[in-house]
Chain A
Amino acid sequence: MTVTESKKEVKCVVWDLDYTIWNGTLAEGDNIQLKPGIKEVIRTLDSRGILHSIASKNNYDDAINKLKEFGLEEYFIYPEIHWNTKSGSLAAIRENINIGMDAILFIDDQPFEREEVKSVHPGITCLDAVEYKTMPDLPRLNPRFITEDSKRRRKMYQDDIKRKKEEDAFEGPSEEFLASLHMKFVIHEAKEEDLKRAEELTVRTNQLNATGKTYDYDELNAFRASGTHKLLVCELTDRYGSYGKIGLALIEIKAEYWHLRLLLMSCRVMARGVGTVVMSHIMQETKKAGKKLQADFKKTDRNRMMYVSYKFANFKEVSSDDEGHILFENDLTMIQPFPPYIDVKIL
């Protein structure tokens, strides 16, 4: 698969260092020079919300110091710099960022490394380092929209790394740590300025996505203005900063039912228990309106967690077909309260 064949947007570029980002072999004490224009390429992609990481065979401290010297260190998250295989490095990066291999682009000057990575991770896309200047023009590195959330994506991941460090160092029960984060979860009806991000969420979210259906800006705007639908956007902040707009729900208002057409939550907030919050909110509101609740679901190879979430929220299957479409119904007799460590605001 080449860069142009796959259609999936690239969420992360993983860079080799020697003869990819710079010319010269660092470990041999060469005079190291950045490749011309490489900084601009990295900055441009960063501003589009594409993450950068490193898979390089080098001494960690030497490489990081060199990157600092060039003013590039801040652009890379979860760098893997050591002498082990690059396929292992890619696996670690993928797991840390929590995205699919098919959303990663690996760039290296050595055919051997590209092939080694590809042999272990067939879904990944590899690029020869000589092509780095073409990167800003590649369609898969050009997200349809660049939103506030995409612009600060790296910062949000870096905040997350800080959180995780503190969490690991935190002695005591994890619920106390969660409480110490002072999480604030806001649910509000989508405004026009939320729609770009809403479309982006339908495209980028795989694991906590009930239907896998993507909607574009105009479709979402039509729902918003329809009077027969509610389009809800969720945002999470804590003392480290904002996680951005991380959740979306589309509800069709019918005579007897509220029908949940779409529910998704960014996987970055999976560990925070907020998926349950928005489900509970929708269930409460449906009950208040005196309606019953139905929900669409489509099984994919990635969204089992969402299926389990529905079932554990007491949704029952009403019907299903061979293609994995399921219609759920909830009798609203059991609605989980909001977790005490999250301050939920409904606007």
Chain B
Amino acid sequence: MELKEKIRKFIESNLVVFEDEAEFSDSDNIFEMGFVNSLFAMKLVNYIEEDFGIEVENDDLEISNFSSVNRITEYIESKKSA
């Protein structure tokens, strides 16, 4: 649970979400909501690498690994246990 909260906080404070009412659930695809730009993408990758001590390989840079709070959490967990 704690990991999810951290990810959600990061996304909320770094994504440019235009409308205040644009809430998203842990399973919502943040890419399809149209919020992701280059800078956010890079910040997200750096955040995962620095805060969780993971090296995100190019092969892992698939939208499917980063498309929602749930997916990012799963990705980090799988890397940590690997």
Is A273 in contact with B42, judged by CB distance below 8 angstroms? no
Taking CB atoms and an 8 Å cut-off, the chain A residues in 242-285 that contact chain B are 265, 270-271, 273-276
| B40 partner residues in chain A, CB cutoff 8 A | 273
Q: Between A and B, how many residue pairs show CB distances below 8 Å?
A: 69
Is A309 in contact with B38, judged by CB distance below 8 angstroms? yes
Is A175 in contact with B16, judged by CB distance below 8 angstroms? yes
How far, in Å, is B47 (CB) from chain A's closest CB? Answer: 12
How far, in Å, is A230 (CB) from chain B's closest CB? Answer: 22
| B63 partner residues in chain A, CB cutoff 8 A | 311-312, 314, 334
Is A341 in contact with B61, judged by CB distance below 8 angstroms? no
CA of A282 to CA of B39, assembled, Å: 19
A305, CB-defined interface residue at 8 Å = yes
Do most interface residues of chain A lie in helix, strand or loop, or is the interface mixed? helix
A304, CB-defined interface residue at 8 Å = yes
The chain B residue sitting closest to A312, CB to CB, is B41
CA of A148 to CA of B57, assembled, Å: 41
| Binary CB contact string for chain B from 2 to 32 against chain A (1 if under 8 A, 0 otherwise) | 0000000000000011111000000000011
Given A175-B17, A311-B63, A312-B31: A208 in contact with B37 (beta carbons within 8 A): no
Number of interface residues of B (CB under 8 A): 22
A339: which of B34, B41, B42, B66 is its contact (CB, 8 Å)?
B34
How far, in Å, is A147 (CB) from chain B's closest CB? Answer: 25
CA of A300 to CA of B73, assembled, Å: 29
B58, CB-defined interface residue at 8 Å = yes
The chain B residue sitting closest to A208, CB to CB, is B38
Is B16 in contact with A339, judged by CB distance below 8 angstroms? yes
| B31 partner residues in chain A, CB cutoff 8 A | 312, 314, 334, 336
Is A311 in contact with B17, judged by CB distance below 8 angstroms? no
B61: which of A173, A276, A311, A339 is its contact (CB, 8 Å)?
A311
| A336 partner residues in chain B, CB cutoff 8 A | 31, 34, 36
Is B16 in contact with A273, judged by CB distance below 8 angstroms? yes
| B45 partner residues in chain A, CB cutoff 8 A | 308
B62, CB-defined interface residue at 8 Å = yes
| Binary CB contact string for chain B from 41 to 65 against chain A (1 if under 8 A, 0 otherwise) | 1100100000000000010011100
**Interface, chain B (partner A; CB < 8 A):** 16-20, 31-32, 34-42, 45, 58, 61-63, 66
